């Protein structure tokens, strides 16, 4: 990526499991000096609308056609509302990156408490890599 490229960074705000939804924030940053745009949206807590909401947030940004990459803080927002990075890449035509600041803790997933505990557990089972 060239120096001064525009990057859209996306993250969610805090929430409790009792909240029906929470905010997501997108910031378009250029180079090392300029914040060019800030956009807000809402996603369902433990829902399934994160991918579409992230794409919509991208489409509402100024200079959308000049955004070189989209960076998200992990692949889930609002609890367990997963962002489909490959679908986002296809629809936005931007490089999409997920950045994690903490190591994964897969043992904690089955014990997660929340309104979609069964879905969380099933997703974990569906995404296991087969042992060979």
pLDDT given for residue 124 in this prediction:
47
**Cα–Cα distances in Å, from 121 out to 24, 77, 108?**
25, 17, 10
pTM, 2 dp:
0.70
Half-sphere exposure of 114 (CA within 13 A, CB side): 24
Higher model confidence: residue 33 or residue 45?
45
The predicted-structure confidence for 73-127, as pLDDT tens digits, reads as follows: 888 899 989 988 887 767 776 666 666 666 656 555 555 545 555 655 555 455 4
**Structure-token pair, residue 78:** 């609002």
Among the ranges given (33-37, 42-46, 99-103), the one the predictor scored with the smallest mean pLDDT: 99-103
Half-sphere exposure of 59 (CA within 13 A, CB side): 10
**Cβ contacts of 10 within 8 Å, gap of 6 or more:** 24, 25, 26, 27, 54, 57, 70, 71, 72, 73, 77
Would you place residue 1 in the very low, low, confident or very high pLDDT band (cuts 50, 70, 90)? confident
pLDDT given for residue 8 in this prediction:
92
Name the architecture of domain 6-104. Answer: 2-Layer Sandwich (3.30)
The closest alpha carbon to 9, from 29, 23, 32, 31, belongs to: 29
What residues does each domain of the chain span?
A: 6-104
59 exposed, middle or buried (CB, 10 Å; 0-12, 13-18, 19+)?
Answer: exposed
């Amino acid at each position: 990526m060239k120096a001064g490229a525009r990057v859209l960074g996306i993250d969610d705000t805090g929430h409790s499991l009792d909240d029906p939804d929470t905010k997501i924030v997108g910031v378009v940053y250029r180079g090392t000096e300029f914040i060019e745009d800030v956009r807000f949206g809402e996603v369902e807590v433990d829902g399934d609308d994160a991918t579409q909401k992230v794409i919509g947030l991208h489409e509402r940004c100024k200079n959308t056609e000049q955004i070189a990459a989209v960076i998200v803080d992990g692949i889930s927002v609002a609890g367990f509302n997963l962002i489909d990075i490959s679908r986002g890449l296809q629809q936005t035509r931007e490089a999409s990156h997920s950045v994690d600041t903490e190591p994964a803790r897969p043992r904690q997933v089955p014990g997660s408490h929340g309104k979609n505990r069964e879905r969380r557990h099933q997703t974990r089972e569906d995404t296991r890599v087969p042992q060979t």
